[in-house]
């Protein structure tokens, strides 16, 4: 286990002002509240990782820290987990590529005790710190898409699961250049049918840049390559063409075509529908307006604050039919109550996260 990044001890022996989120504490046992007034002791031979936000860690109150066991995964398990495929495991970079905070078992320890424990940094850069915080928050802040809508995104879940780490696949390599998929609704999520847009957000410096940021018109030659006989090529063919192309204009339009093709994949699978009763089948099939999802393509540098706020992250690695965010009657789709205070707080957090990311990128370019 690495030992670098050891923080300096505080002058006050019970202060945790020197600790940070993601720090590793030499705690060999933690307590979980399995049930009310029933506690379970969990062995943590490799220590625990601080999950609490740094702003809460450094203050005297609250008196407790949220922690998760530090666990080691196999090389095969760790590779996809580092990419975020398993929301329950968050990599702790300074511990090593195979070491993770296990978010399935989160407990609490007193700050006065944590202050006296041996400790070391879990991350060593602002980028690692930001990613760790984002992945920790992701597990408990995933947006609850309506049950009927989740069936439409199952094909994309298959793309992520089968090609996210297969570097021998052209589509797998191209998909790894996607930073995030987000979904926007033209109206309230409680109103069906839903008018949805799939926002494909590419990583930095992936999309070609043109003079004066003017995107080029598509030529008849490129159009013919992308749509022979007027039909859009399959995603695996488009990905291969993208990798082989050196023409910026062609690469730009191939990316647009891939985003369109991924959105076109979003259709309920018969293998899922056949297990539903007829009434539920009909509701799922009619959940999306006009039976198709629109698309937009952007990059992390171009993602506007408006687009960030109006869309929700599509967590393909952990997509399941969840309970609705609002209190819905069992027989209707009407909203019985307004968004809760926690929902409004989530939006506030999202705004702050977006501003922090944009400001960091703006100053890093100077």
The answer to whether residue 94 scores a pLDDT higher than 60 is yes
Q: Is residue 327 part of a domain?
A: yes
Q: Mean of the pLDDT values across residues 43-68?
A: 93
Please tell me whether residues 66 and 119 are part of one structural domain: yes
Please tell me whether residues 182 and 117 are part of one structural domain: no
pLDDT in tens, 129-146: 998 998 898 777 778 889
Please tell me whether residues 119 and 166 are part of one structural domain: no
Q: Is residue 17 part of a domain?
A: no
Residue 236's pLDDT is: 92
Q: Is residue 310 part of a domain?
A: yes
- CA separation (Å) from 136 to 52, 129, 204? 9, 11, 23
This prediction's pTM? 0.67
What is the C-alpha separation between 132 and 100, in angstroms, rounded? 10
Please tell me whether residues 185 and 323 are part of one structural domain: yes
What is the C-alpha separation between 181 and 199, in angstroms, rounded? 6
Q: Is residue 270 part of a domain?
A: yes
What is the C-alpha separation between 353 and 314, in angstroms, rounded? 17
Q: Is residue 346 part of a domain?
A: yes
Count CB neighbours of 25 within 10 A: 25
Q: Is residue 7 part of a domain?
A: no
Question: And the tokens for 16?
Answer: 């945790």
Residue 157's pLDDT is: 78
Q: How confident is the model at residue 359 (pLDDT cuts 50, 70, 90)?
A: low
pLDDT in tens, 61-79: 889 999 999 999 999 888 8
Please tell me whether residues 63 and 95 are part of one structural domain: yes
Q: Is residue 133 part of a domain?
A: no
Question: And the tokens for 1?
Answer: 């286990």
- For residue 78, what is the enclosing H or E element? helix 75-82
Q: Mean of the pLDDT values across residues 4-16?
A: 65
The top-scoring range by mean pLDDT among 77-86, 142-151, 223-232 is 223-232
Please tell me whether residues 164 and 275 are part of one structural domain: yes
Residue 163's pLDDT is: 54
Dihedral sign for Cα 119, 124, 126, 131, please. Answer: negative
Enclosing domain of residue 115: 24-124
Give, as one character, the DSSP assignment of residue 336: S
Please tell me whether residues 159 and 279 are part of one structural domain: yes
Please tell me whether residues 34 and 164 are part of one structural domain: no
The answer to whether residue 253 scores a pLDDT higher than 90 is yes
Q: Assess contact for 326 and 339: CB atoms under 8 A.
A: yes
Phi, psi for 218 (deg, rounded to 5): -80, 135
Please tell me whether residues 55 and 158 are part of one structural domain: no
Beta-strand pair 24-25/119-120: antiparallel
> Last residue of a domain, which of 124, 159, 180?
124
As for how many domains the chain has, the answer is: 2
DSSP letter for each residue of 153-219: HHHHHHHHHHHTT-TTSHHHHHHTTEEEEEEEESS-TTSSSB-EEEEEEEPTT-S---GGG-PPPPP
pLDDT in tens, 275-297: 899 999 999 999 999 999 999 99
The answer to whether residue 6 scores a pLDDT higher than 50 is yes
Average pLDDT score, the chain: 83
pLDDT in tens, 99-126: 999 998 999 899 999 999 999 999 999 9
Please tell me whether residues 244 and 99 are part of one structural domain: no
Please tell me whether residues 107 and 204 are part of one structural domain: no
Nearest Cα to 252, choosing from 218, 221, 295? 218
Please tell me whether residues 37 and 105 are part of one structural domain: yes
């Amino acid at each position: 286990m690495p030992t670098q990044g050891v923080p300096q001890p505080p002058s006050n022996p019970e202060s945790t002002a020197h600790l940070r989120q993601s720090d590793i504490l030499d705690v060999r046992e933690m307590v979980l509240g399995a049930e009310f007034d029933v506690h379970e002791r969990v062995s943590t031979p490799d220590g625990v990782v601080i999950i609490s936000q740094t702003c809460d860690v450094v203050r005297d109150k609250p008196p407790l820290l949220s922690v998760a066991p530090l666990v080691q995964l196999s090389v095969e398990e760790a590779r996809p987990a580092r990419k975020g495929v398993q929301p329950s495991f968050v990599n702790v970079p300074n511990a090593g590529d195979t070491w993770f905070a296990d978010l399935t078992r989160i407990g609490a320890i007193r700050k006065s005790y944590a202050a006296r424990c041996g400790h070391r940094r879990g991350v060593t850069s602002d980028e690692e710190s930001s990613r760790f915080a984002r992945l920790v928050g992701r597990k408990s802040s995933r947006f609850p898409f309506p049950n009927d809508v989740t069936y439409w995104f199952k094909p994309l879940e298959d793309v992520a699961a089968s090609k996210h780490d297969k570097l021998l696949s052209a589509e797998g390599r191209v998909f790894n250049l996607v930073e995030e998929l987000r979904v926007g609704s033209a109206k309230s999520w409680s109103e069906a049918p839903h008018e949805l847009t799939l926002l494909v957000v590419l990583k930095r410096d992936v999309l070609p840049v043109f003079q004066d940021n003017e995107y080029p018109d598509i030529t008849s030659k490129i159009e013919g390559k992308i749509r022979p006989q007027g039909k859009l090529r399959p995603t695996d063919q488009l990905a291969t063409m993208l990798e082989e192309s050196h023409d910026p204009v062609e690469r730009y339009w191939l990316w647009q075509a891939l985003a369109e093709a991924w959105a076109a994949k979003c259709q309920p699978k018969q293998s899922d529908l056949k297990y539903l009763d007829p009434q539920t089948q009909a509701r799922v099939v009619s959940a999306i307006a006009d039976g198709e999802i629109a698309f937009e393509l952007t990059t992390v540098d171009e993602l506007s604050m408006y687009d960030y706020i109006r869309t929700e992250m599509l967590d393909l690695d952990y997509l399941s039919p969840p309970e609705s965010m609002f209190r819905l009657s069992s027989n209707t789709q009407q909203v019985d109550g307004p968004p809760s205070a926690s929902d409004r707080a989530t939006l506030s957090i999202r705004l702050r996260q977006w501003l922090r990311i944009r400001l960091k990128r703006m100053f890093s370019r100077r």
